Chains A and B, each alone.
Chain A
Amino acid sequence: MNGGFHIVVCGSIVPDPLQTLAPMEGATGPALKNEMMLPSVLDPWAGHSLYEAANLAKKVPGSKVWLVSLGPKAKLQQLMMSIAQKVAFELVVLDGPASGFTDSTEVAAALAGAIGSIPGLDRSRLLLFGGCASASRDAGVTMQMIGEQLGLTEQFLGVDELTVTENGALRVLERIEGGQYQVSECSAAPAVLAWATGNLPEPPNNPQIGMVNMRTIMPALQKAQTAAVGTGGISYQAVELPSQRRETRIVKDMPADDIAAEIVAWLKG
């Protein structure tokens, strides 16, 4: 790859999966109870895409990674304390809601606008990365809409592997039905890759990377633009927790043979 890739990763925060979540009626639509107080993590699939981006940038000289995040500035700042120590990137911040109840069309428009304004971004070398879906809205549509707005019509969804071939082509494995992969080859960048889990573990913290990142992260947070993102035209009639709670029968001290017989009867029933 001549000159390397310009990899833009879209990723924001979601509540820590171990937290108990409850909906409430907010000023502009549904919201989470104590949303600003809930501990947050980097959206898992977006996180995988960030680690894959950093790994690719390491392999292809001249590449650079940007992380574009839409979320409450204060919470993004907290998140950066951990994420910034893992991989090298330049942060672009949009100060706005990270709620799952926002409309993906509005989120996509805001992110596309921010990406289009990144100084020095070479769109001919652009690889737009992100998660295949968020853990909040879980719509799986935002990356495609950003791609459309940026004129990117080579798009891949549910990516687990990207290999750059000797001639610079992108060989992509996308998840499809039944545990299978579709294998495709795209002749070159630009392209959109919405990642599933990929193949990389979470990188360990590296304080040196953190120190380098922090030089650009704090200014990025300070000059964050406010993003007017909301629920769009969605009219929410109700948002509820599922009421179903099962009456669990706890079976103790039953011999393994008897348990097995009961399970087989259930399976065949």
Chain B
Amino acid sequence: MEKILFIAHTQADGTLPNAAREALSAALELSGKIAGSTLTVGLFGKDVKPAADAIAACGAASFIGVSGEQFAESRYATDAAAITALARQAGATIVVAPTTSRISRAVAGAAQRLGGRIDTHISGLDVADGAPRLQRWYYRQRMVATQSRSQRPWFLVVDVGVFPAWSGVAGSAPLQSLAVDQDTCTSRTKVIGIQSPSSDTQTIRPEAEVLLVAGAGWTKKQADGQLHIKDAEGIILDFLQKNKASLGSSKSLVDQSSEGESVLPFMSHLNQVGQTGSTPRHPKGLATCCHGEEPHAVGWRFINERRAINLDAGCGWAQGKADVLYVADAFQVMKKVNELLG
């Protein structure tokens, strides 16, 4: 009989991140499909009761939590200790967790402590012959595998955007608080704080409807033989602001900053999409001034509708990677797009 544990952490405001509600849906689905399985919710953070109450109606058989000031911050030693304690208490054979930076840092350590196995970036989950069967990508979204394991405990870390976020009425969850062995929580690390981009340069919005990808073409000489970096900067930021879009970049553009070439000042490696960058999930994506080469386009695996603007009709986007390729000058087109967006 599988004992399924859903684990998540609270955010600074005491709520669960959206990714956690998605992973809860995955855990519930799994539990519903595996006959005789039980589901426990395990939360950690400064104070987990409000978060447990918010999902009280999810149908879990029990709720356990690790809370306290030392679990307020996202830090490996304390988080790994909390996850380990939750999994031990639940006697978990399967642990389902969301992909957040906090979980990603600590969960593999907990799996190691428990002698378990772990699979991450899960993009699909099903049950076959009474056991979970997952789908995940290899070689940076180049090929997809369907796989399973017999070892337990088995940690399953579910990617964001794969399952719908659980929603339901709040209630009062029968939360059992766990004490964590303090010897396992000692740490020499102090969290200083969060460094955020200022609001006018915030360019990464994971929840955005649209991903705008800017390629190196924005910083190259244009038809008049001149660079137009300031124009490019204005056009891109204007679009992001008007459309509340997220900004991605090709590797070649972000690399320019470390190579001393002209750059867009708000662009960093954090924006990079593709083989050595992120693979974001957005309903729509618009690529501008980039060629859609394979190492970049693998980062578009989870973009549903794709359009591109490029001067080269034979570029990578034309090779079955985009729905529409506009062969045009992105400076002209995007300036006009911004005008129409008002």
Contacts and interface: CB of A to CB of B under 8 A. Distances in A.
Given A21-B142, A153-B77, A188-B188, A201 B258 contact: yes
Query: Main secondary structure on chain B at its contact with chain A?
Result: mixed
B225 interface: no
Interface string B116-151: 011111000000100001000111101111111111
Indicate the size class of the contact surface on chain A. Answer: 35 or more
A179 B197 contact: yes
- The 9 closest A-B CB pairs, nearest first, are A179-B204, A260-B336, A141-B108, A144-B108, A17-B295, A155-B76, A197-B269, A245-B320, A256-B332
B308 to A, nearest CB: 9
Contacts of B35: none
Most buried by A among B187, B189, B194, B270: B189
Contacts of A136: 138-139
B170 interface: no
Given A245-B320, A256-B333, A232 B121 contact: no
Interface of B: 17, 74-77, 80, 100-102, 104-109, 111-113, 117-121, 128, 133, 137-140, 142-151, 186-197, 202-206, 210, 243, 255, 258-259, 269-272, 275-276, 284, 286, 293-295, 301, 305-307, 309, 313, 317-329, 332-334, 336-337, 339-341
Contact of B270 (A105, A179, A235): A179
A139 B118 contact: yes
A196 to B, nearest CB: 7
B145 A30 contact: yes
Contacts of B148: 234-235, 237
Given A21-B142, A157-B104, A186 B188 contact: yes
B101 A157 contact: yes
A104 B192 CA distance: 31
Interface in A223-269: 232-242, 245-254, 256-257, 259-261, 263-264, 266-267
A184 B306 CA distance: 38
Contacts of A44: 275-276
